Structure 1
């Protein structure tokens, strides 16, 4: 077990990687309403952004686990960053041609790189210190990740719309849409350069091997024989689905309510996620266990989902209570409850990973890949959200999916994480 001094450098490097995760991932919340405008998309078509990005986790997770077996965790992280750089470069021809298919290809490639990066990095966080404090370490990474998630939509909005004095909407002229698309070239070129440099840095960094990397699995053992892991993957499917819905659809929902600068609304959800991670860092495991934290956040998610569906789309009462003192109480109550889902979501990922990877030993890489496959929820559930919203006549109806997602998370926190196979 590494001591605190030897764990400091890996934690610092992983913190930088988690910042990259957050920045790239939560740009999608801004890209959805943006691409809806420049590519003339329906709301359902625009949500293919999340599908293309998150389906890569499902398609590529097990192949990436095989890659890790040959490269090791450290070199796998460097390779993942290189793949992400290639994905960012695809945005340049996509922007120049305003071809939605190229945008989706770039998003899939970014997601493939992140799959390898996350499959390697999350076990590092779990095993770099004591098991009972793993959720607190992941919460620290989450703070960094969601801090980037706050920055990404604000920076995107500032860079892309800086030269436009009036709000840009779907009825913008073709010339204005072409000018908007061109504005993507410079940011994504810069992103590709930064990712490539970071890949070289990680390749040369003195990251230690994990203790089980060279240990073979027991004969006959496999990830499919560990129910707590399988249920953990299903839990992450529902969690990532509702997390993406909360972060990436708030802009579309705000756009439908006539909110200006809707591309920046993801930042509100991220602010609440940061608050949730702060709670996790300060309370786990000193005051609350990982299991109890998961139960309480699932219950909060159920309450906030009810708030979205049954609160006002005109009143600003909830926003005034939360941040009226700051002068930014501009969100309707229903939209504020969407942002509050960030608070409910924050501790799910940190709590599920150590619970699901417990006792896996040399199967950790494959177990990590299986958990990463659960990220497919971010590809599929937002599409279902869009379909429910269109059938119901308003996007708000789609948030009813939250009841299913948080109910399963609560089940895993209550009993699912403790189920083990019968050795008899």
Structure 2
């Protein structure tokens, strides 16, 4: 390596990674909004997934528009990296502030528009920030800088759901969020679920009785509908009080009755002013975000961040006019891999609230979802921090030790952050076994992109399949959540394989890969569509359709494992031998 290797511009780089934090914060916070919007706007599961769709389709639209404009005029050359990045931040600020009138109007489509504009700004930031991070020092350490940036992104995805959850629901109740007592009988667990649902409806009725803003006739009609469900629950609870020991058939009968009552409750259309009152807290985190976007954009404009040398940009353009995607199977197969990777990463978690809300998975309510969302996105942080260890110039022995220590430090941060928010997450401790499995598999993959992707793709398939068949649902949910661990270092592996051998067309190929983030808006819709079959069918293969919908992630991981297996063979035919690659995160 050149002794005169350019050093990383740490002061500039540390200013830049704030942007990566925001990407993660907002993306993960969407998963808290999905069950909230589903409840108050009376949405089907597939309709609720439009939240993810609006956000991720904005990446695609933004990338296409940026690409088309750049054909006639190179935006980064003309305006510079800092100014373009600041514009992206201001665009996201506009979207964040639009949450205020959207909440005031209690309009779902208004919220989607606001999210789309936030995502549009993020697409501009993504196009600028990734190459800028790479160019803030030596090319040899560019991937390492993205490793650190990816770790900060994952910190945002871990903290975001917790803070947004606090903003929407207040501090948690550790007793209420505690998992079902293992000493309770099946019938006692069902009774507890009846009481929980009754209390939720009773709270809404109490608030409706003091509603002076809506039409009294509408309010009374809603109270009457909710009270009818409460009366139905009371009837079943009285019967449950007289039963000390129940057969499985009786438990199943009471469970089915509860599901029917819940289905009626989810169809209650609340008065508009009442909905506005319950959505007003959505404004607060996004007002704070909007202000933060503006402050960071100002900071960026006055920072010492330097634009990369223009000669470097011009060199990448040479030969790109004859670029043809179909000449590079690693690229077009890689575009599909990015589409599927982002899709499965988002789909697993955006449909998880619906899964946990089912009776078989404990009937977890909206205000207790945040810890699970945090654990999922925190799993990506665990994986990326594990990959970040390779950045440091330390002995192999020390690296091997840290490979075991650092992931559990990241896990401890997740536990502490959720505990401080008032949630009981003692049931999360068992997740340490999945983390240990991930660490051992990371040693098998090493730094080889193809091998790593194949191993983690196969691991993802296995985890999803076990989650589908494991009898204890308190354990089964962790198999699904562990998808975050095995997704964590897929982005760089796919990217490295997809752009191998592209030479001077690497920049153009990268823009096509970024467009495929669109998968985060499409695949969750497909899985949500499957979930909605629960409204018209008793389930499939003995489980609910919502549970069965996790067959979609199985298929996604199959393709990702296939891409990791086949691409090195494709590259070898082109005379390209993949060496070691440094891990970083999307």
How far does residue 399 in structure 1 lie from its aligned partner after superposition? Answer: 1.1
Matches within 5 A, 1:346-361: 346-358=488-500, 360=502
Instruction: Give the equivalent residue in structure 1 for 2:232.
Output: none
How far does residue 3 in structure 1 lie from its aligned partner after superposition? Answer: 4.7
Instruction: Give the equivalent residue in structure 1 for 2:113.
Output: 105
Instruction: Give the equivalent residue in structure 1 for 2:301.
Output: 203
Q: What is the aligned counterpart of 2:66 among 64, 67, 74?
A: 64
Distance of aligned partners of 1:163 and 1:301 in 2 relative to their CA distance in 1, 3 Å threshold: closer
Q: What is the aligned counterpart of 1:404 among 540, 544, 555?
A: 555
Distance of aligned partners of 1:210 and 1:294 in 2 relative to their CA distance in 1, 3 Å threshold: farther
Instruction: Give the equivalent residue in structure 2 for 1:234.
Output: 336
Q: What is the aligned counterpart of 1:289 among 447, 450, 455?
A: 447
- TM-score with structure 1 setting the length: 0.86
Deviation readout 1:92-144 (Å, 9 max, x if unpaired): 11100110110110111111111111122223345556777665543322221
Query: In the aligned structure 2, how far is the partner of 1:279 from the partner of 1:219?
Result: 36
DSSP 3-state at the match of 2:314? coil
Pairing 1:156–2:164 present = yes
Pairing 1:47–2:61 present = no
Distance of aligned partners of 1:118 and 1:162 in 2 relative to their CA distance in 1, 3 Å threshold: same
Q: Which moved more, 1:97-106 or 1:78-87?
A: 78-87
Alignment RMSD, CA only? 3.0
Query: In the aligned structure 1, how far is the partner of 2:167 from the partner of 2:554?
Result: 37
**Aligned partners of 1:232 and 1:417 also within 8 Å:** no
Instruction: Give the equivalent residue in structure 2 for 1:244.
Output: 346
Instruction: Give the equivalent residue in structure 2 for 1:388.
Output: 530
**Aligned partners of 2:348 and 2:553 also within 8 Å:** no
Matches within 5 A, 1:251-266: 251-256=353-358, 257=361, 258-260=363-365, 261-264=367-370, 265-266=372-373
Query: In the aligned structure 2, how far is the partner of 1:219 from the partner of 1:339?
Result: 41
Matches within 5 A, 1:1-400: 3=5, 5-67=7-69, 69-72=74-77, 73-126=81-134, 128=136, 136-162=144-170, 170=266, 174=271, 177-210=275-308, 212-215=312-315, 216-218=317-319, 220-222=321-323, 224=325, 225-256=327-358, 257=361, 258-260=363-365, 261-264=367-370, 265-282=372-389, 288-291=446-449, 292-312=451-471, 314-315=472-473, 332-358=474-500, 360=502, 363-391=505-533, 393-400=544-551
How far does residue 61 in structure 1 lie from its aligned partner after superposition? Answer: 1.2
> Which one has a bigger Cα radius of gyration?
2
DSSP 3-state at the match of 1:40? coil
**Aligned partners of 1:82 and 1:113 also within 8 Å:** yes
Deviation readout 1:368-416 (Å, 9 max, x if unpaired): 3211111111111001101122335421111111222112212222232
How far does residue 199 in structure 1 lie from its aligned partner after superposition? Answer: 1.6
How far does residue 19 in structure 1 lie from its aligned partner after superposition? Answer: 0.3
Query: In the aligned structure 2, how far is the partner of 1:52 from the partner of 1:369?
Result: 20
How far does residue 23 in structure 1 lie from its aligned partner after superposition? Answer: 0.5
**Aligned partners of 1:241 and 1:379 also within 8 Å:** yes
Query: In the aligned structure 2, how far is the partner of 1:113 from the partner of 1:364?
Result: 24
Query: In the aligned structure 2, how far is the partner of 1:198 from the partner of 1:86?
Result: 14
Query: In the aligned structure 2, how far is the partner of 1:130 from the partner of 1:413?
Result: 28
How far does residue 66 in structure 1 lie from its aligned partner after superposition? Answer: 4.4
Query: In the aligned structure 2, how far is the partner of 1:299 from the partner of 1:380?
Result: 23
Instruction: Give the equivalent residue in structure 2 for 1:322.
Output: none
Distance of aligned partners of 1:229 and 1:49 in 2 relative to their CA distance in 1, 3 Å threshold: same
Query: In the aligned structure 1, how far is the partner of 2:390 from the partner of 2:172?
Result: 45
Distance of aligned partners of 1:417 and 1:81 in 2 relative to their CA distance in 1, 3 Å threshold: farther
How far does residue 62 in structure 1 lie from its aligned partner after superposition? Answer: 2.1
**Aligned partners of 1:83 and 1:112 also within 8 Å:** yes
Distance of aligned partners of 1:361 and 1:198 in 2 relative to their CA distance in 1, 3 Å threshold: farther
Q: Which moved more, 1:249-258 or 1:59-68?
A: 59-68
Distance of aligned partners of 1:422 and 1:268 in 2 relative to their CA distance in 1, 3 Å threshold: closer
**Aligned partners of 1:18 and 1:144 also within 8 Å:** yes
Distance of aligned partners of 1:162 and 1:141 in 2 relative to their CA distance in 1, 3 Å threshold: same
What is the total number of aligned residue pairs between the two structures? 406
- What runs of 5+ residues in structure 2 fail to find an aligned partner? 174-198, 205-265, 397-442, 534-538, 576-586
**Aligned partners of 1:228 and 1:418 also within 8 Å:** no
